């Protein structure tokens, strides 16, 4: 019988690189993981594939999924629903894959509440200054948008203590291997080997990051 995987939620600041980490993790260790595919009521965009990018469903179908508790979590944005189908996740877990959900803090805590064994990972840049530099370096956003993202990052930082692990993305290649190591240890019940990565072991770092983000949000 295949080893059952674990449920993992990855969150992080905009600009921290969580999406890039997940893409590289799947590319390098895809046999071990399943990236959760969300259901949505919005129309497919050009090039999007049903079942790969999203499960595209009608509003009626989605609301039926809600009433029948077929979603692990869901939210509504700009008149469209988005949610994580329970059946897809459970099939991946039973197949021995660890399932990764890339969602924000509110959704992460909902998942943890329903599934207490879920592991929560929070991704951050090495410092608030570096986070700001990455956002500016994109060259795709106005100063107002960058400031809004930094302000949002401060608000998100207030919830980091609810997470199990803190992942500092200072070098992409090393970070991807590090995330894989954390999850492998969790699956093998060797979580004590991850003690230095636990949020509880990085409280001073988190406080410093929070103070720096607060100063940015005040325009200092």
Residues flagged as binding site for ATP: 12-19
- 3-state helix vs strand vs coil in the chain, percent to 5: 50, 20, 30
Determine contact, residues 7/108, Cβ cutoff 8 Å: no
Query: Length of the chain, please?
Result: 220
What's the rounded Cα separation, in Å, for the pair 16 and 7? 22
| 3-class DSSP assignment, residue 77 | strand
Helices (H) and strands (E) in the chain, counts: 8, 9
User: What are the contacts of 203-206 at 24+ separation with CB within 8 A?
Assistant: 203/161, 205/166, 205/168, 206/157, 206/160, 206/161, 206/166
Q: Which residues are annotated as a binding site?
A: 12-19
CA quadruple 156, 25, 53, 97: dihedral, nearest 10? -100
């Amino acid at each position: 019988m295949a080893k059952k995987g674990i449920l993992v939620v990855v969150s992080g600041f905009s600009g921290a690189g969580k999406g890039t980490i997940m893409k590289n993790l799947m590319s390098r260790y895809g046999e071990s993981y399943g990236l959760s595919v969300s259901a949505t009521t919005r129309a497919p965009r050009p090039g999007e594939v049903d079942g790969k990018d999203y499960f595209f469903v009608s509003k009626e179908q989605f609301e039926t999924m809600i009433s029948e508790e077929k979603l692990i979590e869901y939210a509504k944005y700009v008149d469209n629903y988005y949610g994580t189908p329970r059946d897809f996740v459970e099939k991946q877990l039973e197949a021995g894959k660890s399932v990764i959900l890339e969602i924000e803090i509110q959704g992460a805590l909902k998942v943890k509440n329903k599934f207490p064994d879920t592991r929560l990972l929070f991704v951050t840049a090495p410092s608030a200054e570096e986070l700001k530099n990455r956002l500016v370096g994109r060259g795709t956003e106005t100063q107002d948008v960058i400031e809004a993202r930094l302000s949002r990052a401060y608000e998100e930082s207030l919830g980091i203590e609810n997470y199990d692990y803190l992942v500092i993305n200072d070098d992409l290649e090393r970070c991807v291997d590090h995330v894989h190591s954390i999850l492998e240890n969790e699956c093998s019940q060797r979580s004590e080997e991850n003690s230095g990565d636990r949020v509880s072991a990085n409280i001073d770092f988190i406080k410093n990051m929070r103070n720096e983000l607060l100063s940015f949000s005040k325009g200092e």
